[in-house]
Amino acid sequence: MAIKFQYNKTSQQLLAKQLKVRERALPTLKNKESALRVEVKKAKDKAAELEKELKKELSLYDDMMRLWGEFDPSLIAISDVELSSKKIAGVQTPILDKVNFEVRDYNMFERPSWFPDGIAILKKLVEIALESEVFERKMDLLDFARKKTTQKVNLYEKVQIPGFQDAIRKIKRFLEDEENLSKAAQKIVKTRQENMEVAS
């Protein structure tokens, strides 16, 4: 990215201001990036842990698989999923607060005696699965923000800050050269005037 500038003091001052802004922002951006990296790892670990827990819970009921054929899935449904949000390093992330279920009335004498336990098992499995999904979503949001922050850090660190420093250096050299030329020209004029005075 080429930085546009003019060879004058005003341009030099503007570039210096922009350079200072970026130099001040860089440590904050680096801190944000490392905080996001940690949070992404936490969310990823928690999602994996919940996935493992879900598989473990499901394996506990492997021997009951034939019984689930008798179960009426229309007895239970998710009526609402309550989510809230929390800001982590400036990123809004979801938090699962509560899963509301709607359990249809059924005649306990006509249904197998394990149905209430089956409903409780399903509630638990659904809650684990939903929490895992929420952590996956949280991880995706945080990772996206981390990538954007990393891009900005790289832009500042590798492109803009060196670019502004280089532009300021060029302007300084130009102005110094201009000043030296001006002084040299004044000296020449003065010497000529002195020579002319001596000659006359």
Between 47 and 108, residue with greater pLDDT: 47
Question: The tokens of 117 are what?
Answer: 């336990």
Q: At what angle do helices 161-199 and 9-60 cross, to 10 degrees?
A: 170
- 54-91 residue pLDDT tens: 999 888 877 777 777 777 778 888 999 999 999 988 89
Confidence (pLDDT) at 1: 58
Q: Decide if 152 contacts 36 (C-beta within 8 A).
A: no
Confidence (pLDDT) at 115: 80
When the pLDDT of each residue in the chain is averaged and rounded to a whole number, the result is 89
CATH 1.10.287.3240 fits domain 9-195? yes
- Per-domain boundaries in the chain: 9-195
Question: CA–CA separation, 59 vs 61, rounded Å?
Answer: 5
Question: CA–CA separation, 131 vs 48, rounded Å?
Answer: 11
Tally of CB atoms within 10 A around 105? 6
Residue 190 falls in which region: left (phi positive, over 0), alpha (psi -120 to 50) or beta: alpha
Beta bridge mates, 82: 98
Would you place residue 200 in the very low, low, confident or very high pLDDT band (cuts 50, 70, 90)?
Answer: low
Q: What is the pTM of this model?
A: 0.75
Q: Decide if 164 contacts 3 (C-beta within 8 A).
A: yes
Q: What backbone phi and psi angles, to 5 degrees, belong to 63? A: -75, -10
Residue 178 pLDDT > 70, yes or no? Answer: yes
- 93-128 residue pLDDT tens: 999 999 999 988 877 777 777 788 888 888 999 999
- Work out the average pLDDT over 171-184: 90
Question: CA–CA separation, 36 vs 146, rounded Å?
Answer: 6
Question: CA–CA separation, 59 vs 44, rounded Å?
Answer: 23
- 136-163 residue pLDDT tens: 999 999 999 999 999 999 999 999 999 9
Sign of the torsion angle spanned by Cα atoms 37, 38, 39, 42: positive
End-to-end CA distance of the chain: 60
Question: CA–CA separation, 40 vs 89, rounded Å?
Answer: 11
Per-residue DSSP letter, 2: P
